[in-house]
Amino acid sequence: MKCPPFDYHRATSVPDAVDALQAAGDEGKILAGGQSLVPVLALRLARPAVLVDVNRIPDLAGLDLRDGVLHAGALVRHLALAGQGLHPLAAEAARWIGHTAIRSRGTLGGSLAHADPAAELPAVLRACDGAVQVSGPSGTRRVDTAALFVGALQSDLADTEMITSVELPVPDAWGFAEFARRHGDFAVVSVAAARFGERVRIVVGGVAGVPHLVDAGDLATVDGDFSADRVALLAAAAADDVDPASDLHGSAGYRRALTEQMTLRALADLAGHPRPVRESA
């Protein structure tokens, strides 16, 4: 199908992009990698009057590690994120995104702004307790991960705002696991686990409207080595904590069982233990 007609504006700077979005009111959309927007346009599920192309804006594709935090520009491509060694959890998660052609175009900022609850990078941002820098008509503001995602395909961003950079604290240890029907598909369930000091953050994707931060109480506080018994208890706690809905990809019970299995695998990686022998979901 062909996209509906639209006006095109190639932004040369962040203020230029913000001005174009403001002029379009609620009829403007940012075009970066286009991996989420273009299919929606082709299906006529969205009809923006103006597309604001931000790909030529300088200084939005850098990667910089400062004081244990990876500062990544919004235009960092998934392929670059997968190939960097500054943040291993983000690199591993990015390798699960789509296929090479998609990873070469899709952007970090675009994935976070799209706020798909089954996507990998929103789960990583939540697991690392990260944040984004957002520019709009009123200036720049910092939005932490708890406030950014407000529902399925819904974020805290206004129509006249854009993500310019992302802050990703680097965990002391990490693990990531995902189950999808086919390689490159969105996850049925994914789990990102990050350890900061004695605290472990476990985030499950695909089970709610936003990436779900598991509330495991004292189980998530680890002093010293991370035992296999603690891994099993945390995986069971994660399965108990989620409340997935049934859909064409699987029942609620199926997703809950997958949550336990994917959490086992992610935490086994984080703790340096061998993965569970059972490899089928």
Task: Give a yes or no: residue 280 inside a domain.
Answer: no
Query: 105-131: string of b/e by CB count within 10 Å (b at 16+)?
Result: bbbbbbbbbbbbbbbbbbbbbbbbbbb
Instruction: Name the strands in the sheet holding 162-169, side by side, starting at the edge strand that comes first in the sequence.
Output: 63-66, 69-73, 162-169, 131-136, 139-144
| CA-to-CA separations, 107 to 61, 71, 73, 102, 166, in angstroms, rounded | 9, 14, 9, 9, 11
Q: What are phi and psi of 146, to 5 degrees?
A: -65, -30
Q: Are residues 189 and 135 in the same domain?
A: no
Range of the structural domain that residue 24 is part of: 7-53
Q: Are residues 153 and 178 in the same domain?
A: no
Question: One-letter amino acid identity for 69?
Answer: V
Task: Give a yes or no: residue 109 inside a domain.
Answer: yes
Residue 198 is classified by DSSP as T
Distance between CA atoms of 35 and 41, rounded to whole angstroms?
Answer: 11
Distance between CA atoms of 211 and 145, rounded to whole angstroms?
Answer: 10
Q: What are phi and psi of 268, to 5 degrees?
A: -60, -40
Give 123-140 pLDDT, tens digit per residue.
Answer: 999 999 999 999 999 999
Q: What is the CATH number of the domain that holds 88?
A: 3.30.465.10
Q: Are residues 256 and 181 in the same domain?
A: yes
Q: In this structure, what token pair is assigned to residue 120?
A: 């990998």
For 102, half-sphere exposure in the C-beta direction (CA atoms, 13 angstrom radius) is: 17
Q: Are residues 159 and 181 in the same domain?
A: no
Task: Give a yes or no: residue 84 inside a domain.
Answer: yes
Q: Are residues 120 and 195 in the same domain?
A: no
Give the chain's domain count. Answer: 3
Q: Are residues 38 and 16 in the same domain?
A: yes
Q: Are residues 104 and 87 in the same domain?
A: yes
Going residue by residue through the chain (281 aa), what tens digit of pLDDT does each one get? Answer: 688 899 999 999 999 999 999 999 999 999 999 998 998 898 888 899 999 999 999 999 999 999 999 999 999 999 999 999 999 999 999 999 999 999 999 999 999 999 999 999 999 999 999 999 999 999 999 999 999 999 999 999 999 999 999 999 999 999 999 999 888 888 999 999 999 999 999 999 999 999 999 999 999 998 888 888 999 999 999 999 999 999 998 999 999 999 999 999 999 999 987 776 544 33
